[in-house]
Amino acid sequence: MTPSFSTWTQITMLHMYLLVTRLRCFDKETYRMWQSMLVDNFFQEAEDKMDIVHHISSRGLRQRYLQDLFMVWRGVMVAYDEGLMRGDAVLAAAVWRNMFKAQPDVDARHLAAIVSYIRRSISRLDRTPDEVFILHAGGELFSDTKAWPPPTADLGLVDEPATKEMVLLLKEAERLEAEQAKTAPVIETVVEEAEKAADKAASA
């Protein structure tokens, strides 16, 4: 993915969504408070990037962009929620539409790796105690790449079934080749005997 404001937005929203799924485990008041703080911080950071990095000096223009971003955020939550409920194919489609802008040439392995990363992250967050989550949800959870490997680490999991299947196919090919090597002399002998019998019958 090419670094851009849109890319940063989608990657950040993905991790916000992961945090929101964990926040839903808290009581309604706590969940709403933390989600509001999370979203507010994101939009403040987004506006700062527009101003400082992309030099959008007009506050009115930034506000219009932020309104569009808010609609994107709501769509992301709905799409990923649907994917979690309906299965990996639907989740992959949501990732494809949002993170990759529905580009037709996206590597399916990358989609599968991100889906695996989402599932793995949600599972790990679910096992994280409340107090640990609250203390480290500000970014430390995802910053340690050893404790929390990035989506590229899931490419191995994506390739593993294909690798196993290839190994099985190679073993089957070797078995067939060995069987053919054993039966080849027998076939040659049978053919020779048949030819001799045919010659004898012809001479008689």
At 157-171, the pLDDT tens digits run 777 765 666 556 667
91 and 104, same domain (yes or no): yes
13 and 73, same domain (yes or no): yes
Residue 4 phi/psi, 5-degree rounding, is -165, 175
Per-residue confidence band for 1, with pLDDT thresholds at 50, 70 and 90 = confident
| pLDDT higher than 60, residue 50 | yes
| pLDDT higher than 70, residue 106 | yes
Higher pLDDT, 44 or 166: 44
CB-facing half-sphere around the CA of 140: CA atoms within 13 A = 6
- From residue 71, alpha-carbon distances to 47, 67, 77, 78, 122 in Å are 15, 7, 10, 11, 23
| pLDDT higher than 80, residue 204 | no
Higher pLDDT, 191 or 170: 170
75 and 98, same domain (yes or no): yes
Per the structure, the complete domain to which residue 163 belongs is given by 152-204
Q: What is the pLDDT of residue 158?
A: 77
94 and 38, same domain (yes or no): yes
| pLDDT higher than 80, residue 101 | yes
Q: What is the pLDDT of residue 85?
A: 94
60 and 121, same domain (yes or no): yes
32 and 69, same domain (yes or no): yes
| pLDDT higher than 70, residue 37 | yes
194 and 99, same domain (yes or no): no
With beta carbons less than 8 A apart as the criterion, state whether 75 and 90 touch: no
Q: What is the pLDDT of residue 122?
A: 93
145 and 157, same domain (yes or no): no
171 and 197, same domain (yes or no): yes
Place of tokens 């599968």: 112
DSSP for 145-183 reads: TTTS--GGGGHHHHHHHHHHHHHHHHHHHHHHHHHHHHH
| pLDDT higher than 90, residue 143 | no
Model pLDDT for residues 68-95, shown as the tens digit of each residue:
999 999 999 999 999 999 999 999 999 9
Higher pLDDT, 139 or 128: 128
123 and 160, same domain (yes or no): no
170 and 131, same domain (yes or no): no
pTM equals 0.74
| pLDDT higher than 70, residue 8 | yes
121 and 97, same domain (yes or no): yes
Element spanning 201, H or E:
helix 155-203
> Domain boundary residue among 149, 174, 191?
149
> Domain boundary residue among 149, 167, 191?
149
Which bin fits 166, alpha (ψ -120 to 50), beta or left (φ > 0)? Answer: alpha
In total, how many domains does the chain have? 2
200 vs 204: CA distance, rounded Å: 6
Highest mean pLDDT among 77-81, 127-131, 134-138, 143-147: 77-81
